[in-house]
Amino acid sequence: GAGVSQTPSNKVTEKGKYVELRCDPISGHTALYWYRQSLGQGPEFLIYFQGTGAADDSGLPNDRFFAVRPEGSVSTLKIQRTERGDSAVYLCASSLGDGDTQYFGPGTRLTVL
Amino acid sequence: GENVEQHPSTLSVQEGDSAVIKCTYSDSASNYFPWYKQELGKRPQLIIDIRSNVGEKKDQRIAVTLNKTAKHFSLHITETQPEDSAVYFCAASKGSNFGNEKLTFGTGTRLTIIP
């Protein structure tokens, strides 16, 4: 079946602009995660949804970052007033339920000029 | 919070030899330990995982061992092949017992298999 998909695959923006990154989880997966991966590093947790609600948003670096999952499926990560330090690959993962294997999407490479 | 350390950062082995990557974690409440393989520009892919109720798990050429007392776990790849070349990440999670599913990743090991 189809895996986790993310759009766009690449996003180049200017400092101060607003961006939205989209994640389509595997059908039927109730849990969805956002991670951020900088060059040469492991993924770092941002936020976790169980259904429509954010069960853990402790990884969001500041209030410029926000994520939603209004219908318990697709999720959007929103970044306001982007900064050069936000440049990274943003990975989405989904799992069938609590404690199950997390399957990753291909990521969105965000470049802030 | 949880801290996961991974060693070595780079590893080169001759084709056919074995490779071992080691990780330590800090939070004794962690109970789920997956390993992901990531090829350049690709998504991380799960290759094996272990939960805290077992000490070892094997899948063909890949095995993972867990020592909960010492808080460390290791990935073993035997009979290495060129397609094993990639970056490998270990991770730890407290799992559903704590309602905390997030994975904390190590910094990765770049494995190169020399033909």
pLDDT digits (tens, 9 = 90+) for B9-34: 999 999 999 999 999 999 998 999 99
pLDDT digits (tens, 9 = 90+) for B67-94: 999 999 999 999 999 999 999 999 999 8
Residues 6 or more apart whose CB falls under 8 angstroms from that of A45 comprise A33, A34, A35, A58, A59, B102, B103, B104
Give the pLDDT mean for A96-106.
88
Which DSSP symbol is given to B100? B
Cα distances (angstroms) measured from residue B42 to each of A62, A92, A103, B79:
27, 13, 13, 24
The pLDDT of residue B100 is: 55
- A59 near B CB under 8 A: yes
pLDDT digits (tens, 9 = 90+) for A55-83: 899 999 999 999 999 999 999 999 999 99
Which of A86, A81, A87, A39 is closest to A64 using CA atoms? Answer: A81
The answer to whether residues B64 and B57 touch, using CB atoms and an 8 Å cutoff, is: yes
Number of A:B CB contacts under 8 A? 62
The pLDDT of residue A97 is: 81
The more confident residue out of B26 and A100 is B26
The pLDDT of residue B69 is: 93
Query: Which residues of chain A make contact with B107, given a CB cutoff of 8 A?
Result: 40-42
Q: What's the mean pLDDT when you consider all of chain A?
A: 95
A19-24 and A31-37 beta bridge pairing:
unpaired
Residue A19 identity (one-letter amino acid)? V
The pLDDT of residue B98 is: 52
Contact A43 B108 (CB under 8 A): no
Residues 6 or more apart whose CB falls under 8 angstroms from that of A103 comprise A3, A4, A26, A29, A93, A94, A95, B46
Residue B61 identity (one-letter amino acid)? R
pLDDT digits (tens, 9 = 90+) for A7-21: 999 999 999 999 999
Question: Which residue among A33, A91, A105 sits closest to B102, beta carbon to beta carbon?
Answer: A33
- B112 near A CB under 8 A: no
With bands split at pLDDT 50, 70 and 90, how would you rate the model's confidence at B97? low
User: Quick one: tokens of A106?
Assistant: 């291909």
